[in-house]
Structure 1
Amino acid sequence: MSDWLHNLPVPAMALVIFGFTYLLAATVFAAIALVATEERAKALKAISPGMLPVLGIIFGLFVAFTAAQVWGDSDRAGTAVSREASALRSAVLLAAGLPAEQEAKLRGLVRDYVSQAVTVEWPEMAHQEASLKATPPALAEALQLVVATTPQGRGQETAQREIVAALEQALDARRQRIIVSLASVNSVKWWCLYLQALCELLVIGFVHCDNRLGSAIAIALFATGVATSVLLIVAHDRPFTGQISISPEPLRQIMPEASAKP
């Protein structure tokens, strides 16, 4: 699925998906109505209605497996953002144990990192363009600052150790959210899902080919179920893309003055 569809508002996304699915269903209905002449109708009716539940179950399994991937990616993305915000908040709180100059500088570096994450990385993740090639300069500098600080007493030594651990955890959480931002349902799964739906639509049409009204109703109902399933998956397919996406609000909250909304 392309960027333009994922970035549509949910109502517009629904219009596109339902429109395409109903067009597919209408094409199937028209093709069967054209082919099912009086002689051929008997041959088409010979197809066992027992195929309907089998194909329906297979389609349901396809939807379940695809949805499981989407929900898993969404959960991992939310967890990564929460971990990152929590780690940065811990670093900011523990900075009070450092000398005043280092504390102020560390807070400023965390603010710079949050600002970059919100204004630069989030739009990149929305377009699946974020990269792990470079370490965020602000966070790398913060680590270097803390490591280079000479602790005065046990308290500062403990604070230094905990801040380093918190910053490393923030870096790891950032890596996780960027990795998850690159995940999506691939085109092979979408083709298989719609091909299975097409098979079910064809069998519905064949079984009811002698009853145009019944066939139209059955095809329309199944097409509605297909479109609803696809809409649900597409709306949540990319955790950081679209109207229903994970926002950087947890990062904004730990440093409210760090950045403005993108």
Structure 2
Amino acid sequence: MSDWLHNLSVPWMAFIVFGFTYLVAILIFAGVAILSTKERATSFKSISPGMLPVLGILFGLFVAFTAAQVWSDSDRATAAVSREASSLRAVILLAGGLPPEQEARLRGLVRDYVEETVAVEWPMMARQAASLKAAPPALTAALRLVVSTPAQNPGQQTTQHEIITNLNSALDARRQRIIVSQTEVDSIKWWCLYLQAICELLVIALVHCDNRLGSAIAMGLFATGVATSVLLIAAHDRPFTGQISIAPTPLLQIMPDKEASR
């Protein structure tokens, strides 16, 4: 789907999705009503109503298949952000085992990384423009700082090892976060989903061509179900885009205070 639709608020997205789906249903209903003359009505009625549950089941499978991808991407994105925040929190706590100057410098680098991630990287992920080409300067500098700090005792050596492990974990979580930010339901799946819905709406209209009120009610109910399914998937399609998106709250909660970073 287009960027402009994903960036809409949920009410406006619902208005567009429901409006488009109802428009398709109305066009199908009107087309069948115009074509259902006495001669054609008999042919239309010869279509087996048994096709309705079959097509409905196929549409349900399409929805489940598409939704499974969306929920999986959302779970992966949430897990990546949580792991990144947990790793950075561990770095902040372990920094207390370093000499005071290195501790303050490390806390400042973690703070710089979080600020840049929230201010720059998060909007880029919302536009699916974030890239893995360049490593984050703050975390790279933090790794160099810890590696270059001479260990004064075995305890400090263990602390440095744990800090490096958690910094690498944060970098890996960042990579996963950016990768997931570039995923979405592709256009082929959306076309197939709506094509299946159109087939179901068309069969409803043909089977009930001699009862226009019943046809309109049945088509309206199914169109509502289609629009609801599409809205639910579209609103969660891109984990970092739109009103319902993953916020950098966990990172902000672990960000060191400026005073403590100096």
TM class, shorter-chain normalised? over 0.9
Which residue in 2 is equivalent to 1:172? 172
Name the CA distance, whole Å, in 1 between partners of 2:171 and 2:29.
Answer: 54
Name the CA distance, whole Å, in 2 between partners of 1:184 and 1:152.
Answer: 49
Which residue in 1 is equivalent to 2:134? 134
Name the CA distance, whole Å, in 1 between partners of 2:10 and 2:222.
Answer: 21
Question: How high is the sequence identity, in percent, across the aligned residues?
Answer: 73
Name the CA distance, whole Å, in 1 between partners of 2:253 and 2:37.
Answer: 67
Name the CA distance, whole Å, in 2 between partners of 1:227 and 1:257.
Answer: 46
Residue 34 of structure 2: SS of its match in structure 1?
helix
Which residue in 2 is equivalent to 1:204? 204
Which residue in 2 is equivalent to 1:223? 223
Which residue in 1 is equivalent to 2:105? 105
Residue 237 of structure 1: SS of its match in structure 2?
coil
1:139-160: CA deviation from partner (whole Å, max 9, x where unpaired): 0000000011100001110110
Letter in 2 for 1:251: L
Note the C-alpha offset of 1:256: 5.9
**Runs of 4+ displaced beyond 2 Å:** none
CA contact (8 A) 2:108 2:256 kept: no
Which residue in 2 is equivalent to 1:85? 85
Letter in 1 for 2:17: I
Q: Normalised by the size of structure 1, how large is the TM-score?
A: 0.98
Note the C-alpha offset of 1:97: 0.3
Counting only pairs closer than 5 Å after superposition, residues 179-194 of structure 1 correspond to structure 2 as 179-194=179-194
Note the C-alpha offset of 1:203: 0.2
Q: How many residues align?
A: 258
Which residue in 1 is equivalent to 2:47? 47
Which residue in 2 is equivalent to 1:96? 96
Which residue in 2 is equivalent to 1:57? 57
Name the CA distance, whole Å, in 1 between partners of 2:158 and 2:247.
Answer: 33
Q: CA RMSD in A?
A: 0.7
Name the CA distance, whole Å, in 2 between partners of 1:146 and 1:37.
Answer: 82
Pair 31,124 (structure 1): closer, same or farther in 2 beyond 3 Å: same
Residue 236 of structure 2: SS of its match in structure 1?
helix
- List runs of 5+ in structure 2 lacking aligned partners: none
Name the CA distance, whole Å, in 2 between partners of 1:229 and 1:133.
Answer: 36
Which residue in 2 is equivalent to 1:154? 154
Letter in 2 for 1:190: W
Which residue in 2 is equivalent to 1:38? 38
Name the CA distance, whole Å, in 1 between partners of 2:66 and 2:253.
Answer: 33
1:23-44: CA deviation from partner (whole Å, max 9, x where unpaired): 0000000000011111100000
Counting only pairs closer than 5 Å after superposition, residues 228-247 of structure 1 correspond to structure 2 as 228-247=228-247
Which residue in 2 is equivalent to 1:24? 24
Which residue in 2 is equivalent to 1:2? 2
Letter in 2 for 1:20: F
CA contact (8 A) 2:9 2:243 kept: yes
Name the CA distance, whole Å, in 1 between partners of 2:256 and 2:17.
Answer: 38
Residue 231 of structure 2: SS of its match in structure 1?
helix
Residue 161 of structure 1: SS of its match in structure 2?
helix
Name the CA distance, whole Å, in 2 between partners of 1:11 and 1:257.
Answer: 38
1:138-187: CA deviation from partner (whole Å, max 9, x where unpaired): 00000000011100001110110000000000000000000000000000
Name the CA distance, whole Å, in 2 between partners of 1:233 and 1:256.
Answer: 36
Letter in 2 for 1:124: M
Q: Normalised by the size of structure 2, how large is the TM-score?
A: 0.98
Note the C-alpha offset of 1:257: 4.2
Name the CA distance, whole Å, in 1 between partners of 2:202 and 2:250.
Answer: 48
Name the CA distance, whole Å, in 2 between partners of 1:185 and 1:9.
Answer: 19
